[in-house]
Amino acid sequence: MTVSEPRTVLEAAAKRRFLISRWPWRCAGYLLTTPIPVLAAAVPFGLFALPWAAALSSRQPFGARLLLVALGALLLAGLGPLVAAPLAEVERRRLRLIDTRPVSSGHAGQTWSRVRYGEAAIWRELGYACLLVTLAPVLYGALLMFALLVGGLILSPLLARGSGEPVALGLFKVATPMEAVPYALVGVVLAFAIPYLAALLTGVHAVLARVLLGRGSEERLRAELVEVARSRARLVDAFEAERRRIERDLHDGAQQRLIGLTLQLGLARMDLSPDSAAGRSVADAHEEAKRLMDELRELIRGIHPRVLTDRGLPAALGELADRSPIPVTVRADLPERLPAHEEGTAYFVAAEALTNIAKHSEATRATVSAHLQDDVLVLEIEDDGRGGADPGLGTGLTGLADRVAVVDGRMLLSSPAGGPTLLRVELPCSRPSE
């Protein structure tokens, strides 16, 4: 069984081997370097707080003091982010000492020099800076005082021997080294608690830093949505490329070989007597090969029709109308070519919709129209059938909606009982260059 390596100082402190691991030293490094950013931030923040100090210490009228308070707030809100942003960048790097997990900035940009006051991240960083210059000195100072007290207890026998007078150890006094020995033993025991207290303090500091300096929930969700959109686009591209490859292989490989086989069977059929057993067998094989040819042609057309690749969406919609068992009128006011994704999606939506009309609607006619409206490809399929189309009845409408959503489009359906049914699909589409 593999034991996972601690990633944070709090996880390390829960391990038995904490005291002999590298984490106490990493913790000490973090503690010793904390005064640097604290002092660096304390100077400008102290200047921002001067109006507040003047308001508290002066005997000026209430209006003047209120004005000083407002001035301090404006200085903090206006100039504070300029200090907090670089401080946050330093703290994110310093955080690696006690938390090895990566933490990324919540800013939209990659540099702190371009402060954006409208971002939530900059205000979280300002809050962290305020806590760093106010709360951190108190807590770190308390830890330092505890460490000094423990050091005094351990050294109490030496202090008592070198002084002729009683030595104060907190609330107690010792006059001789022998009297100080119990206190020294207590100090030795308490010394083992210092690394754990330091780990607790720095661990809480790390948690606070990660929450305030990392990406917030909105930024994380936004980044995840962007990645999902990009991965979905990559999957669509890969799927479309694979569909074209399969269509090309079937058209240039299997279909051509089947055509050759059909021709050979046709020639063999001509050489044999139609009344002979061999002639009848070859004739049956020839007819079966022709039926297989038709099925393969339909399969290739269903994967990716050649006419769509060669001549574009208007011609492909016209071919769909010609193959439909009910009369279909096509109105396509489109440029010669559109982006491949939009053309393919519009074609397959129209093909599935016409198939549904033929199977379920009892319609006598249908109309397919396509046009560009601003930068949106609008496809409308209407029939005079009985209506009542419902995506929940397994008529393929849910699949159409999913296909449209992949390219960030939307599908609208109007199908009252008794008809007519109108299916409208809107696909974002960039206009082709003139």
Q: What is the pLDDT of residue 112?
A: 45
pLDDT at 54 over 50: yes
Class of domain 309-428 as given by CATH: alpha beta
d(CA 94, CA 318): 65
Q: What is the pLDDT of residue 110?
A: 46
Cα 363 vs. chain centroid, distance in angstroms? Answer: 45
Whether the full predicted model's pTM is greater than 0.85, yes or no, is no
d(CA 87, CA 84): 5
pLDDT digits (tens, 9 = 90+) for 124-157: 888 888 899 999 999 999 999 999 888 888 887 8
Scanning 216-276, the segments in alpha helix (DSSP H) are: 217-249, 255-271
pLDDT at 64 over 50: yes
d(CA 417, CA 389): 8
pLDDT digits (tens, 9 = 90+) for 13-31: 888 888 888 999 999 999 9
pLDDT digits (tens, 9 = 90+) for 91-126: 888 988 988 887 777 666 544 444 567 777 888 888
- The answer to whether 224 touches 280, Cβ cutoff 8 Å, is no
The H or E element that residue 26 is part of is: helix 23-33
Instruction: Give the angle subtended at the CA of 55 by the CAs of 54 and 57, to the nearest 5°.
Output: 65
pLDDT band for position 221 (cuts 50, 70, 90): low
- The answer to whether 290 touches 262, Cβ cutoff 8 Å, is yes
d(CA 4, CA 268): 73
pLDDT band for position 228 (cuts 50, 70, 90): low
User: Which range has highest mean pLDDT (4-13, 328-337, 390-399)?
Assistant: 4-13
Structure token pair of residue 294: 């038709």
Nearest to 367 by CA among 427, 311, 419: 419
d(CA 41, CA 279): 98
d(CA 346, CA 417): 26
Q: Indicate the average pLDDT of the chain.
A: 78
Write down the domain spans for the chain.
9-215, 224-304, 309-428
pLDDT at 351 over 90: no
